[in-house]
Chain A
């Protein structure tokens, strides 16, 4: 059994504890965070909610934590008892994306600045499986890692005030899907008709931290058909 990298225990608010790892985020850390998070959910009934960042977990409690020392000891014990860090429970989601110009206002300019054809850019973007690090920023916004290095690019100087829901974009070292209409500073290269966030459903977001995402190119005709089927609730993406 290997010892995990140490974490910092910080009480940020009487009801909120922050655990932070002083390291670069990578797959091994993500697997560990997911396992630790699961274990805390199971063992600490007083924890009502856990949020996650690249290298941190935040634990929300139903009331103020009184016995800090004992709490910290329990947490450390739990951490050192973790053994499996496999991806076994993570799912692969294939998300249909239309890269047609109509949905990709920045595709041409971005491929030019990256010195490649639009076809190459699309090919590279769909070639890999991205990993969901965590969800934040907007309801249903997936922080994805794994963008091919040759697609990295500076964000726009000025964010645009309206990015349509479903837009697929690249910014910096990241790629993502805007789950709702919002302002945004990333380059828009496509759009998915599939909703990332459905507030009316019991589980509003299909993906979770640790899952993999692969983009599947579709034609404009496919896009319209899918949109119709999604509206009629006859299409649902299934994980692999």
Chain B
């Protein structure tokens, strides 16, 4: 068990998401930066679908009741064990009754903590990813216990990833034209292709609202299916980038679709970060 001494700002259990129930209105969910999550599991020889902890901006303070092996990927959150700094991107042995403490993300926004054998929280509709009204809890709360398999201590011996955090400074987010892109006036299309956009304070696991607006007269549309990465344009021109916890349907025109890689990159960007869309073909 891991005991949560302090939950951090937004810490949740995530995996590859909940596929197969969108037709019932259930969001896909899953880790915001799937790439970072995969590497964390990889370092421990975990199967890909193992659940991890996703921490945003400021991480939690955790007490490990039993010994295990962990790996940290994503943003550097100044992890410390008994005051000693830990490195990201390698397998780390944790002794029993150890306190693991995180600070504020230095570069990037989200950090992933994988545990040997994966987190053993309840599986609901094929996934452990926490989501309101689906899983018993929406985020990790104070004093809560997070179960893991204490018998399974593995990890890739001596494995390390060389990783350049500069990936997160990348300003180009790969995207494709959305089904309603062609309805935008030429000027707005050019704006999407050439201008920089800024992430507003309204950003969450569900959606990032952008600060810059487009001028357009696209008529409203009948409610349509959407997916993570869909960029919607509201009647007043506000752009809404749907993220992993996005609803399954939406009523705004879809001007772009961000690629999987683009979504992973955006997941590591915070409020006020700017970027450009790199629009290519599917």
Contacts and interface: CB of A to CB of B under 8 A. Distances in A.
Interface of A: 8, 10-14, 16, 18, 20, 25, 48-58, 60, 134-141, 143, 179-181, 197, 199-200, 204-205, 209
Contacts, number: 109
A135 B25 contact: yes
Q: 7 closest pairs, A vs B, by CB?
A: A136-B249, A58-B225, A54-B222, A53-B224, A51-B225, A180-B133, A205-B24
A205 B176 CA distance: 33
Secondary structure call for the B interface:
loop
Contact of A137 (B20, B25, B134, B222): B25
A51 B23 contact: yes
B188 to A, nearest CB: 19
A48 B134 CA distance: 21
Interface residues of B, number: 32
A227 B254 CA distance: 41
A53 B225 contact: yes
A135 to B, nearest CB: 5
Interface string B23-48: 11111000000000000000000000
Contacts of A56: 224-225
Output the residue of B22, B24, B257 with the most chain A CB within 10 A: B24
A181 B46 CA distance: 36
B161 interface: no
Nearest to A138: B25
A134 B229 contact: no
A138 B247 contact: yes
Interface of B: 19-27, 124-125, 132-135, 176, 178-179, 222-225, 227, 229-230, 247-249, 254, 257, 259, 282
8 contacts: A12-B230, A13-B176, A53-B225, A56-B225, A136-B248, A137-B25, A137-B248, A140-B25
Nearest to A20: B179
Contacts of B22: 49, 51, 60
A139 B225 contact: no
Contacts of B229: 13
A136 B19 contact: no
A143 B259 contact: no
A137 B252 CA distance: 13
A181 B249 CA distance: 18
A13 B227 contact: yes
Given A136-B249, A138-B25, 20 more contacts: A10-B179, A12-B176, A13-B229, A14-B282, A50-B23, A51-B22, A52-B23, A53-B225, A55-B224, A134-B249, A136-B223, A137-B25, A137-B223, A137-B249, A141-B25, A179-B25, A180-B132, A197-B24, A197-B25, A199-B125
Contacts of B254: 12
Contact of B20 (A8, A48, A179): A48
Nearest to B24: A205
A181 B134 CA distance: 12
B60 to A, nearest CB: 25
